[in-house]
Chains A and B, each alone.
Chain A
Amino acid sequence: MSEFFLELFTEEMPPSLQNNAKIEFLEILKNFLDEKKISYNKLYYSISTPNRLIFYFKDIVEEFEKKTEEIRGPRVDANKESLEGFLKSKNISKKKIFIKKTPKGEFYFYKIPSIKVSTKKILQENMPFLLQRIKWKKSMKWGNYELSWGRPLKSILCLFNGTSLNFVFYHLKSSNKTFINKDDEIKTRTFKNFLSYKNYFKQAGVIVDDRERKLSIKKNLEKISKAKNFNLNINLKLLDEITNIVEKPKVILCSFDKKFLEIPREVIQLTIENHQKFFPIFNKKNNLLNYFFSVIDKEDKFGLIKKGNESVVDARLTDAEYFWKKNKSQSMLKYVSKLENVNYFNGLGNYLDKTKRLKNLCSVISDELLISKEKLELASTIAKVDLLFDLVNEFPELQGVLGGYFAESQGFEKEVCLAVSEHYLPSGLNSRTPKNNYSIALSLSDKLDALVGFFGLDLVPTSSKDPYALRRMAIGLIKLIIENKKSLKLKEMIDYSCQLYNNQSINFDRKSVHNNLSIFIIDRLKNYMKEKGIRLDIIESSLIDFDLNNIFVIFTKADRLNKIIKKQVGIDLIENYKRAFNILNSETQLQNEDYKGSADPALFKSNFEKDLFKKIHDIRKNFTSINLENDYDSQLSLLASLKKEVENFFDNVIVNDNDVVIKKNRLELLKMLCNTFDKYFNFEKIEFLNEKAGI
């Protein structure tokens, strides 16, 4: 049993490429071994440093058997030459072949005997092809070479059972050596096995296993935080990234001048995290502190690295502070007219045009949400002004948020500032949804205006491309409505939005905007419901009678049903419906007759029919009562409560009566039952998963 160990040494490989190659090539190797039926220990893995991609398998069989195989040669009646050619190509004598009949005629055959093949040999032959299969998201060439790789590949160390596995890959030859210092590609060292390799680097201070490296960084961050009473809120994405840009991680605590804490906290955080890849630090109340952690790749013997790290942050914050001070004193209201110079989108006017549309949309929404029209209009008027300010130019990710800060420093009311700050939210499925009515209104207008505009220009997302992030906008719209339990007249708002464009001489085909946007929103809503774990058949049913103005109700009905569908009440409910529907359905198809759901009580023969009829009446009455209007759980229990009457009916009454009139009346009664269910929604597509539910 042998170990296989491969190290691909490159110039610094970016974290995302490292991760991809690590996963992908491990899979390629594994599949290759499986395909060749070479057995190995299931504990195989790949690890990496910025310069080393390492793949490891152990307990690989040294030899494996290649099974016998029959190879068909030429036809028996073919000319001599072709037979000779066949023998020659297989390097065998005529004695080794035999004749066999096949449906296509008589052929010569040769049976390759089973042989033992050396794993090492087969790996050696195949490694170049396997390496070739890695698909880099981005790759490059260098020097005069033909090879295209994530970053320049400098050496290949490959061991099998203690000795080097030799192959040629482009201009490189594999060996049992690698460079020991990432920055000096001169000194090499020979390795006999993976353990000695790992130990060697360990004593050199390099942690070759990224999982260990990550743990070590995390532990050190936490240790210092605990001692200093910091709150860390580790950004896990950043931790992953940092793990993959260092090989000898050390954590140091740095600080910056307290005066910078007056700059919006998001600016500081972005500077520290995104630009410098440091960890921001908070106190126990989650306020940002003037400290940060830096993960460095070297012992900071003289404190120079710490000093350098601090001065970079200082320089960046000085820059931000300069803009912050300048911008916050620029009156937002005075700047509104300058939005005319900023193009929103070709064909949709400039940002001043957009601002005017937003203002109008907002005034309509303010009526619906019963909030102050003046305040909301003010918020919409200044919402886009921050686009003119330098600080947003420097930190485009913070558009809106910074607008909120500027508004605050200029004394606008709290809700106005909040609305400006949050108006790009939610920016995706997992993004936070604003809760304040002013924010909801502004964000909704912003998204609606964009959706209508882009659909108006027919710039509709395709399956793979969504350059204007319209999916995210639609999801945002849906989240705003559902998560805030709002019932808004979206239909009318879309029309109004078209009208507003029209007022600016931007003309759309309203009908197609309406239709296409509806379909688009339905699709997003479906996705949203799926994400929320709602069963597919329930989603489909809830959308049968889709109405843009009813998004919240549609979602809630689906969600409530989903919550109870596996419980007794759900099972009863569906059973009640299905028993009635199935008979009705087959009869409808047979008789080609339509039922209206108007049974005549005078034609009932048994009490079971009367009971059911009465119960349906009671339920209908309750359904329309005001107390139950928005109480979907009770509506569902009500429908489930038909169980006794339905069971009695089916156990004791034969629908298929000989008297056609009686039969029709009974079917009408069942139709009446189904119609009652339709008051919730159409249950036709709900699957009856009684068995699976395991009552």
Chain B
Amino acid sequence: MVSKKTKKIITFQETIFNLQNYWSNHGCLILQPYDVEVGAGTFHPATTLRSLGPEKWEAAYVQPSRRPSDGRYGENPNRLQRYYQFQVLIKPSPENIKKIFLDSLSSIGIDKNVHDIRFIEDDWESPTLGAAGLGWEVWCDGMEITQFTYFQQMAGIQCSPVSVELTYGLERICMFVQQKSNVFDILWNKDGTLYKDIYKENEKQFSKYNFELANIEYLFNTFESLEKEAKNLLLNKLPLPAYDHSLKASHVFNILDSRGAISTAQRAGYISRIRDLVKEVGLKWLEEKK
């Protein structure tokens, strides 16, 4: 039964705790965010690299995700250039994963009995990762709250067995559950600290950097150096450090993109350079593990 007055508000940090507990109870390792800038939780090696190969793997973690071109100087109530994803990766995908996922929603304040939960076709593809999967956007009353994907390919390699990836959009979920129309008004903890108290300034400064001040020449040079470094590491059979450098290159590319420095024509070229690195990382990772 829902009565708005008595229903206690689930804070942003509780949402994370609850998801961590829920997935921990379902056997997942609870990991920490990866310490390199990434565009999505998928880029964490616990997803990309661990989804390769035959071993069982179950992990969940929060991942701050950076999308420079989504920045709005903190002025837009729905967009951020840095936000949080809660990521679950399970290999092989369990038989009843859909039900396990639906049950997780009640732990974060979404009662599937009174909300319209829908699975809308969304086949996912990441050109930079050489990855593709089939699945859905999960909608709650028309809002996308989670991405539900069965990986078919990663780093250009066919996935076998198949992993399932669940990506919860934490800000969206909290806005929905806390009934806020502005992301900056999300209640972070019980003491009344808001999202904006922590991140508003961050959004302003990074938007300014991403759109106006990022040094294009420096970044183009950095991209080249990072790529070179990654290639050298691959030659030396060190796929993990090579992967870090590929991720960094990918982030540099994203900043250049948001800076408007990359033309449509160049775009595909840069993406394929990153993909080539990631593919090589994937192959070497599988080799080195043996």
- A residues engaging B (CB < 8 A)? 11-12, 14-15, 50, 138, 140-144, 151-152, 183-186, 245-246, 276-278, 294, 296-298, 300-302, 304-305, 307-309, 311-315, 318-319, 322, 341-343, 345-346, 350
Cross-interface CB contact of A304 among B77, B115, B164, cutoff 8 Å:
B115
Given A152-B150, A318-B77: A142 and B93 interface contact (C-beta under 8 Å): yes
Q: Mark B140-165, 1 if CB is under 8 A from A, else 0.
A: 11110000001010000001111010
Asked if residues B265 and A183 are in contact (CB atoms below 8 Å), the reply is no
Given A183-B99, A294-B142, A343-B264, also A322-B114 (CB < 8 A): no
B78 contacts the other chain (CB 8 A)? yes
> Please, which residue of chain B has its CB at the minimum distance from the CB of A340?
B263
Residue B213 is within 8 A (CB to CB) of chain A in the complex? no
A contact residues around B76 at 8 Å (CB)? 318-319, 322
> In the complex, what residues of A have CB within 8 A of residue B102's CB?
183
Which stretch, B118-126, B218-226, B230-238, touches the partner chain A? B118-126
Residues of B within 8 A of A296 (CB): 116
Instruction: Check A11–B119 contact: CB distance below 8 A.
Output: yes
Q: Is B96 an interface residue (CB 8 A)?
A: yes
For the complex, give the distance between the alpha carbons of A301 and B2 in Å: 10
Interface: B95 (CB within 8 A): yes
Query: Can you sample 23 A-B contacts with CB below 8 Å?
Result: A11-B119, A12-B136, A141-B152, A141-B159, A142-B150, A144-B92, A144-B162, A185-B98, A245-B120, A298-B115, A302-B114, A305-B114, A307-B141, A308-B115, A309-B141, A318-B77, A319-B76, A319-B79, A322-B75, A341-B260, A342-B264, A343-B265, A346-B265
In the bound complex, how far is the Cα of B150 from the Cα of A141, in angstroms? 8
Return the chain B residue nearest A50 by Cβ: B119
Task: Kindly list chain B residues whose C-beta atoms are within 8 Å of the C-beta of A307.
Answer: 141
User: Which residues of chain B are near A312, meaning CB under 8 Å?
Assistant: 141-143
* B interface residues with partner A (beta carbon < 8 Å): 2, 72, 75-79, 92-96, 98-99, 102, 112, 114-121, 123, 133-134, 136, 140-143, 150, 152, 159-162, 164, 176, 181, 260, 263-266
Alpha-carbon distance between A294 and B93 when the two chains are bound, in angstroms: 33
Q: Does A140 contact B150, Cβ atoms closer than 8 Å? A: yes
Q: Nearest Cβ in chain A — how far from B207, in angstroms?
A: 13
| Complexed CA–CA distance, A313 and B142 (Å) | 9
User: Could you tell me if B116 and A143 are in contact, using CB atoms closer than 8 angstroms?
Assistant: no
Q: Once the chains are docked, how many angstroms separate the CA of A371 from the CA of B133?
A: 53
Q: A141-B152, A297-B116 are in contact. List 15 more A-B contacts (CB 8 A).
A: A142-B93, A144-B92, A144-B161, A183-B99, A186-B96, A277-B120, A301-B114, A304-B2, A308-B140, A308-B143, A312-B141, A341-B263, A342-B263, A342-B264, A350-B263
Q: Which residues of A contact B181 (CB under 8 A)?
A: 311, 314-315
A308–B162 touching, CB < 8 Å? no
> Which residue of B119, B141, B162, B265 contacts A143 across the interface (Cβ within 8 Å)?
B162
Q: How far is the CA of A474 from the CA of B148 in the complex (A)?
A: 41
Contact B263 A343 (CB under 8 A): yes
Residue from A297, A298, A300, A322 within 8 A of B72 (CB atoms): A322
CB-CB under 8 A from B164, the residues of chain A are 142
